[in-house]
Structure 1
Amino acid sequence: MTSWDRPAVAHWDFPRSATGIGVLVEAGGALGVEAGTILRGVGLSPAELATPDLLVAPAQELAAIRNLCAAAGDRPALAAEVGAAYRLTTFGILGYALLSSPTLRDVIAMTLRFIDLSYIFSAFGVEATGDRIVVRLGGAALPEDVREFLVDRDLFAIDSVLRDLVPGGLPFTEVTFAGGRTDETLAAYGERLGTVPSSPGGGDGVTAVFDAVHLDLPLPQGSAGAVAMAEALCRDLAATRRTRGPVSSRVRVEITGSLSQGAPMPSVAAALGMSPRTLRRRLADEGTSYQRLLGDVRVELAERMLATGLLSVEDVAIRLGYAEASSFIHAFRRLTGTTPHQASVASRTRTSAAPRA
């Protein structure tokens, strides 16, 4: 028996892209559930879900999942319906890296290496035993109320991605849902998977098996050059995210939503259910500080707003919570080494010089 390396991150409590919540909103919309219902208590607006590079804490995504499950009602195949909404494009640069991988063996290795660029909650493992490849999704560490939904959703998300990668999809020869599923759910799952799943009592995860013959077959869009570039981008993105723990990601979200009021630390701490002292300590544990996060968010948003060419420096300063433009200009120069006006001109110059399709 042989095994791949363990996932780079062995837990589900990692910052993740807000796009994952966007997928839940999209899937809910197809089921007749309004976005506002799914986002209740999440701390994000529908517009913010499209914000590039916005990270959210897993607790926010779990809140959206609970809202969706409650609103969708009794749907035997809900996890399968939601899982099918995850496509290669959902995963951004990781999706491109998977698409560029030469073989399925490389896809598995890439996934394990950059698992925290995905939206998975289950404990993910893969092993080869003879002519069988066994995919295991464990749920022991997941919140009990959504455990079954999460492991099932993760399986169907994997199935959906494999359909994008492998012509005709990758047939599972065996699928086992431990812990028990209703006959109605198993029938609905089996119809989607093309195989008859089993669900013995006991356990808390999902096991899926496919034929090892698929491992080293060339994938149609595999490219050694493209995958090398994509892997480098994944490495850079993962390095950035891994320096942002769950608390700092939540702080960034709260800061973004309260900048026009100055984003005072006591207010942000209260929104997260902490005292300022506790928040300061938690951020220090993650190697950052409130002032650093506040500065980062302000710079990122300032650069985006200035790049549009639609807002003056004064307008941007107001939206970022500065009392006057001069304070904004001074802070921006201190943090970036340039002025807002220079950054705006440089951004528009790059845009105008970019080749057009």
Structure 2
Amino acid sequence: MNSWPGSAIARKETSDSVNYEQRGQKLKDLGHCCDHRRMSDRMNMQRSIASAAILVELAIEHGMTMAQCLDGTGVTPAMLADPTAEIFARQELRIIQTMVRELAEVSALGLRAGYRYRLLTHGIWAFAVISSPTVRHAWRIGVDYMDIVYSFARWRFDADEDAGIATIDYTGVPAEVRTFLIERDLAELVTVDRDVFGQLILPDRVELPCTAPEYVDDLVQLLGTRPEFDAPVTRLTISGALLDLPMPQANPYAAALAGQQAAQVLQRRRARHGIASRVRSILLTRGADATQEDIAAELRLSVRTLRRRLDDEQTSYRELVAETRQMLAEELLRIGATVENVAARLGYSDASSFTHAFTRWTGTTPGRFGRAAR
């Protein structure tokens, strides 16, 4: 992977006809698809069947049938019984949507679900977290690899010496399931904390993007503090003193191994397949400036057929171009390129425009990303 950025850079440097201003505008025009792309990518990622099995068990206990739970999902009872099975995130989301609709009268349904997720339900992610040296590092590694577990939100963790702030954004998921997912993730987080420490690591402040429910006392008991409701996003503030606590099972060798395995799982689950994989491979070889007509010709397809086949895979040429540009930006930042240099290489008119786009893609600034990656 380290070979292609250099070839792309060389092509850009030897091309006298590049109009950076024009290309920068074109990239900004692509920006509006990034949020949709991220959510689409997340829905098409595979995940362990374990979470779906937990949800179906809960639903059946509250009166739903197996057939109701799995209707329209493509998930079978045999798959639920197979601990090695994987499904797509969109299939689990369908189960959740059905539960929320059919069990609307059940109070605190999301909390009830979250309490059932134990530390080891999360597989290699759990080992990467518990073997971390400190709570601060555990938060960072947990958020970095959040896509291999069960949340549907976009997570971000920022910390300095005084405090850490975990921002959890659910705006990309259907509105009718957001409260359920917020409650599930919070209860799941508390359960993991208790499995690791034997007690809850209490946050200083909790902000939630929903109105206070009738069972608000359950949330207070769960979190150890009364949440602030109607916030723009879910946000947890944790004191620096807590972040610097050592993890009870810290082990540098286990942490390195678990981190490597978590990265491999993430890479495998994010990998494109089918025609999308072939398109991205060509973009990586020829550069993201290749036109859709160029790609179609190389694949010996008409542009119309290419569009249809990408649509069948729930993606588009524009999404793949944006994804490739993000990959190039991340790789250049990892090898030490400056923000200004990367902005110019990708055709942005200035570093500010690139920084805005990169933050939309990743939830962090290119400067912060580069420092953390080196």
Identify the TM-score tier after normalising by the shorter chain. Answer: 0.5 to 0.7
Checking the alignment, whether the CA contact within 8 Å between 2:209 and 2:229 is kept in structure 1 is yes
What is the deviation of 1:143?
Answer: 1.1
The total of aligned residue pairs comes to 250
Q: TM-score, normalised by structure 2?
A: 0.59
For residues 195-242 of structure 1, the C-alpha deviation after alignment (integer angstroms, 9 at most, x for no partner) is 222313x63x32222222121222111211111111121122222111
Give the corresponding residue for 2:301: none
Give the corresponding residue for 1:195: 225
CA distance in 2, matches of 1:136, 1:246: 34
For residues 287-343 of structure 1, the C-alpha deviation after alignment (integer angstroms, 9 at most, x for no partner) is 9xxxxxxxxxxxxxxxxxxxxxxxxxxxxxxxxxxxxxxxxxxxxxxxxxxxxxxxx
Q: Does 1:186 align with 2:213?
A: no
CA distance in 2, matches of 1:143, 1:100: 35
Give the corresponding residue for 1:215: 243
Unaligned runs of 5+ in 1: 1-8, 249-274, 288-357
Give the corresponding residue for 1:172: 203
CA distance in 1, matches of 2:241, 2:270: 35
Checking the alignment, whether the CA contact within 8 Å between 1:58 and 1:246 is kept in structure 2 is no
Give the corresponding residue for 1:107: 138
CA distance in 2, matches of 1:214, 1:151: 23
SS of the residue 1:133 aligns to:
strand
SS of the residue 1:135 aligns to:
strand
| Matching residue within 256, 262, 266 for 1:228 | 256
CA distance in 1, matches of 2:50, 2:208: 27
Write out aligned runs for 1:1-357 (5 A). 11=39, 12-13=42-43, 14-51=45-82, 53-128=84-159, 131-182=162-213, 184-200=214-230, 203=232, 205-244=233-272, 278-279=308-309, 282-283=312-313
Give the corresponding residue for 1:328: none
CA distance in 2, matches of 1:138, 1:284: 23
C-alpha distance 177-103 of structure 1, shift in aligned 2 (>3 A): same
SS of the residue 1:127 aligns to:
strand
CA distance in 1, matches of 2:313, 2:98: 28
CA distance in 2, matches of 1:168, 1:58: 30
CA distance in 2, matches of 1:226, 1:207: 30
Q: Which amino acid aligns with 1:191?
A: Q
SS of the residue 1:241 aligns to:
helix
Identity value in percent: 27
CA distance in 1, matches of 2:163, 2:271: 37
Unaligned runs of 5+ in 2: 1-36, 277-304, 318-374
What is the deviation of 1:118?
Answer: 1.1
Give the corresponding residue for 1:351: none
C-alpha distance 281-26 of structure 1, shift in aligned 2 (>3 A): same
CA distance in 2, matches of 1:280, 1:210: 43
What is the deviation of 1:285?
Answer: 6.6
Out of 124-133 and 107-116, give the one that drifted further: 124-133
For residues 241-299 of structure 1, the C-alpha deviation after alignment (integer angstroms, 9 at most, x for no partner) is 11146999xxxxxxxxxxxxxxxxxxxxxxxxxx9994576459799xxxxxxxxxxxx
CA distance in 2, matches of 1:68, 1:247: 34
Q: Which amino acid aligns with 2:243?
A: L
C-alpha distance 107-173 of structure 1, shift in aligned 2 (>3 A): same
Checking the alignment, whether the CA contact within 8 Å between 1:121 and 1:151 is kept in structure 2 is no
What is the deviation of 1:63?
Answer: 0.8
What is the deviation of 1:48?
Answer: 0.4
CA distance in 1, matches of 2:170, 2:266: 24
Higher RCO, 1 vs 2 (CA within 8 Å, ≥6 residues apart): 2
Q: TM-score, normalised by structure 1?
A: 0.62
CA distance in 1, matches of 2:123, 2:105: 32
Out of 27-36 and 210-219, give the one that drifted further: 27-36
